[in-house]
Amino acid sequence: MVTKARVNEIGLTRNDYKGRPSTLCLGCGHNSIANQIIAVCYEMSLNPHDLIKLSGIGCSSKSPAYFLNRSHGFNALHGRMPAIATGATTANRRLIAIGVSGDGDTGSIGLGQFKHMVRRNVPVVYIVENNGVYALTKGQFSATADFGQQLKYAGVNELPPIDVCLEALAADASFVARSFAGDSNQVRQLLKAAISHKGTAVLDIISPCVTFNNHETSTKSYPYGKAHEEPLQDITYIPEYEPIVVKVHEPGEVQAVQMHDGSHLMLKKLDPDQHDPTDKVGAFHLLEEARQAHQFITGLIYVDAKRQTLAEISHLIDTPLALLPEERLRPPREALDSIMEHLTCCRKV
């Protein structure tokens, strides 16, 4: 018996969002994230032709090959995906950009580009698959590795870690979230929210490296993550076309955050005193306190759905620049004649 595969609202199956088979290690957190990207794009009924997938260099950055075969992609240079994202989304503002980076790519070589992309609020879902280690070069510490952590070949890490979320917040990020590759539901909900966000959405996802950094003493491991993850909220993403079914009975318990595209994020707080993700100063406190207390908090840390994007600041027309016809790109002959006339007669007009 042939069962018909389920299709989404634009008639595509989940398989239509897949990529090539992964060449990453079995059990790698990055594979799990790739699967959530596939699931989310399918569930949101996104047209793969509207999506672009971008990355830098490293294990994480290989993964765009493993999802969205029907989408264009650009596997850029080490740490330089933000620049490619900035150029591509400026050239065509209709594109939905999903970028995948790693902790070396973002936290070290690309930290400058990362912060400037965030500062410009370039419309991109920027995922950091954070495992605290350089795996392709066989196990050096990355800048997000814990202070005092030990690795087989690298020895003891004597430097404090860079916190990707804190860096993003300090650069005026409009969307900052942290998650854990082992918490696929949360990853999915946050990805949906990130895709609905109009500016840069930074998703710092702890994504264990099963080969080099998955032992229990590592805070970037599955065992540690499963044992210590402290979600801030139960997150439910509600698309713009669905009614909000969760009734807000008691303020402070469930918080509804409206995204730019009209969708909502329902945040059920797990602790009544917990963080309001629209409070920026609170977000700084939360991150720094968690850092000092070695707490592994996950969830939506900060969101400002209204901050202007680079395209808005640039007053770009709606038509993608890349698709403008000649008559919109090349001024007419009369325009050149008039400039020449002004220059030859030496009088400003």
Partner 1 sequence: MTSLVSKSNGHQSVINDFQIMIATVNGSGSQTANTVLLRAIFRMGIPVTGKNIFPSNIQGLPTWFSIRVNKHGYIARLEDYHVLVAMSQQTIGEDIEMLASGGICLYPEEWKIKRTRQDITYYPMPVKALTDMADVPANLRPYIANMVYVGVLATILDIDLSQIAFAIDYHFNGKAKPVNMNMAVVRAAYEWAQDHIAKSDPYTVEHMDTTNGMLLIDGNSAAALGAVFGGVSVVAWYPITPSTSLIDALRQDLTDLRTDPDTGEATYAVIQAEDEIGAIGMVIGAGWAGARAMTATSGPGISLMSEFAGMAYYAEVPAVIWDVQRMGPSTGLPTRTSQGDLISAYFLGHGDTRHVVLLPGSIPEVFEFGWRAFDLADRLQTLIFVLSDLDLGMNLWMSPPFEYPDTPLDRGKILTAEELDNLDRKYARYEDWDGDGIGYRVLPGTDRDTGAYLARGTGHNAQAVYSERAKDWVENMERLNRKHDTARQLVPQPVVDQVDGAEIGLIAYGTTDACVVEGRERLQQQGIKTSYLRVRALPFSDVTCDFIDQHDRVYVIENNTDGQMARLLRMEYPELAARVFSLAYADGLPLTPRWMTTAILEQER
Query: Which of 127, 129, 123, 231 lies closest to 174 in space, CA to CA?
Result: 123
Reported residue count of the chain is 349
Residue 84 found at the interface with partner 1 (CB under 8 A): yes
Residue 137 found at the interface with partner 1 (CB under 8 A): no
- Tell me which of 6, 247, 249, 315 binds partner 1, using CB under 8 A: 315
Q: How far is the CB of 315 from partner 1 (least distance, A)?
A: 5
Number of residues located near partner 1, criterion CB under 8 A: 64
The DSSP letter of residue 52 is: E
Residue 21 found at the interface with partner 1 (CB under 8 A): no
- Tell me which of 91, 136, 156, 256 binds partner 1, using CB under 8 A: 91
DSSP element (H, E) containing 74: strand 72-75
- Tell me which of 9, 50, 240, 261 binds partner 1, using CB under 8 A: 50
Residue 87 found at the interface with partner 1 (CB under 8 A): yes
Residue 249: strand, helix, or coil? coil
* CA torsion, ordered 59, 91, 126, 83, to nearest 10 deg: 60
What's CA 208's distance to the chain center, in Å? 17
Q: Which residue lies nearer to partner 1 by CB, 14 or 80?
A: 80
Token look-up 């602790």 returns 271
Footprint on residues 58-77 left by partner 1 (CB under 8 A): 64-65, 69-77
Q: How far is the CB of 54 from partner 1 (least distance, A)?
A: 8
| Separation of alpha carbons 240 and 200, rounded Å | 20
Footprint on residues 251-310 left by partner 1 (CB under 8 A): 310
- Tell me which of 44, 162, 246, 321 binds partner 1, using CB under 8 A: 321
Phi-psi region of 337 (alpha: psi -120 to 50; beta: other; left: phi over 0): alpha
Nearest-5° Cα angle at 260, 250 to 103: 95
Q: How far is the CB of 100 from partner 1 (least distance, A)?
A: 12
Q: Which residues contact 248 (CB under 8 A, 6 or more apart)?
A: 254, 255, 256
Q: How far is the CB of 162 from partner 1 (least distance, A)?
A: 18
Residue 7 found at the interface with partner 1 (CB under 8 A): no
| Separation of alpha carbons 115 and 120, rounded Å | 9
Residue 339 found at the interface with partner 1 (CB under 8 A): yes
Q: Which residue lies nearer to partner 1 by CB, 226 or 330?
A: 330
The residues facing 231 across adjacent strands are 298
Going residue by residue from 150 to 189, which x/- string records binding to partner 1, judged by CB under 8 A?
Answer: ----------------------------------------
Q: How far is the CB of 17 from partner 1 (least distance, A)?
A: 12
Phi-psi region of 125 (alpha: psi -120 to 50; beta: other; left: phi over 0): beta
Q: Which residue lies nearer to partner 1 by CB, 159 or 313?
A: 313
Residue 136 found at the interface with partner 1 (CB under 8 A): no
Residue 12 to residues 1, 32, 102, 122: CA-CA distances in angstroms? 21, 21, 30, 29
Q: Which residues bind partner 1 (CB under 8 A)?
A: 20, 47-50, 52-53, 64-65, 69-77, 80, 82-92, 94-95, 112-113, 116, 120, 310-311, 314-318, 320-324, 326, 328-331, 333, 335-337, 339-340, 343-344, 346-348
